[in-house]
Amino acid sequence: MKRNSTKQYFVIALLLSFAIAITIHFPVVLEYFFRDEGGRDRHRFLMSFTHLGGHLFITYIVALLMFTLNFLILKPVETHGKLKLLNVFLAIILTVFSVYILNELLFSLQDMIDAEPRPRGRGRRDEFDYANFFVSGLVIGCVLIIRLIFQKQTISLENETLKREALQSQFESLKNQLSPHFLFNSLTALKMLIKEAPDTAQNYVNSLSKALRYTLKSNEKQLVPLREEMEFIESYLFLIRMRFGDNLSIITSINEDLLSHTLPPLTIQTLLENAIKHNEISKRNPLRINILTTENESLVIVNDIQKKITAEEGTGIGLINLAKQFQLLVNKEITIRMENNNFSVEVPLIRP
């Protein structure tokens, strides 16, 4: 990606350098192409062409060298870093110094290519210096604009990537919810409840409906309030507890002041699925999961580590996609820890 951006930058620099050279010497270009050459001989015509070409070449070289210098200082293709004022100040100082040296070298070259030698007056030298300093100012402005354009393109591409990865993550969650295994367990539990506890069966159907509806609607949003996520989790946990009973213990401790903070949808469900999938849940070894918030405005899901005798294979795609969503959405990292026989995942909550 960076290599392609660098290539694009220098292609743009080549084109802009030519455009700047034409712009600076535009009156001379017009004079050359629209002047009356009726009484002039071929030799004089070629000398005029050499004079124009030489001036364009010198301005083009100055502009191209300044584009290269400011590429190294302002780094327009590094779109994630913040542009520091010190770098802009350094770019201006080094550009002025470099143009001053180039003027000393190139002024003599201009004398050599002039069709008609003219006196080396101070006014002519000042005109040459001012033109090149003006070119360098245009170049710095162009580099800053190019950086902004690259940043905008990068943000657009990352947003599109985020949408695709969010859809993939949500699709994986939806597959887990609608998998034959999940539906089989849900319908089996529902069948038993209809016979033994009709009132509970009705609550079970309501919770299943809410869980599936939230999962489907979550495709429309990138962030949801923690309050909505916890309401969904209540329905989801009702279904899970019907399967595991007292063997699964979920303890929540949520600061009400953080309920308006946001996070990607299905974040908590993904982490709960991860804990349930990789740990033994039985009467002999009940599993305890804590859902809590911290003072630094984060959400933490902690579970005991009690590996299954026959561990299920996992791709880890849930945690990977979750980490990518936080990185692209808010440029923050999730924290995964394994210590004191506990596995925990801490995710940052986003201020509304």
Task: Please enumerate in sequence order all residues whose Cβ is within 8 A of that of 202, keeping only pairs 6 or more positions apart, or say none.
Answer: none
> Residues 345, 298: contact at Cβ < 8 Å?
no
> Residues 61, 31: contact at Cβ < 8 Å?
no
Q: What pLDDT does 294 receive?
A: 93
pTM of the model: 0.50
Q: What pLDDT does 178 receive?
A: 44
> Residues 75, 81: contact at Cβ < 8 Å?
yes
CATH topology of domain 207-348: Heat Shock Protein 90 (3.30.565)
Q: What pLDDT does 254 receive?
A: 94
Delimit the CATH 3.30.565.10 region(s) of the chain: 207-348
- φ, ψ of residue 77 in degrees (nearest 5): -85, -10
Q: What pLDDT does 203 receive?
A: 80
In angstroms, the Cα distances linking 225 to 143, 169, 222 are 40, 18, 11
Model confidence pLDDT, tens digit, residues 287-306: 999 999 999 999 999 999 98
Q: What pLDDT does 24 receive?
A: 82
Q: What pLDDT does 183 receive?
A: 62
Nearest to 334 by CA among 281, 298, 305: 298
H-type alpha helices, the chain: 2-24, 26-34, 42-74, 85-113, 122-178, 180-196, 198-217, 226-244, 267-278, 317-330
> Residues 271, 299: contact at Cβ < 8 Å?
no
Helix, strand, or coil (residue 314): coil
Beta strand 298-304 with 262-263: parallel, antiparallel or unpaired?
unpaired
> Residues 110, 58: contact at Cβ < 8 Å?
yes
Cα(45)–Cα(318) distance, integer angstroms: 73
The amino acid at 40:
R
Helix, strand, or coil (residue 335): strand
Q: What pLDDT does 256 receive?
A: 93
> Residues 58, 106: contact at Cβ < 8 Å?
yes
Cα(238)–Cα(348) distance, integer angstroms: 26
Which helix (H) or strand (E) segment holds residue 302: the answer is strand 298-304
Tell me which residues of the chain have a pLDDT lower than 70: 1-2, 28-51, 79, 81, 109-124, 167-186, 218-219, 310-317
Q: Which residue carries 């279904």 as its tokens?
A: 239
Model confidence pLDDT, tens digit, residues 194-230: 877 787 788 888 887 887 788 777 667 778 899 999 9
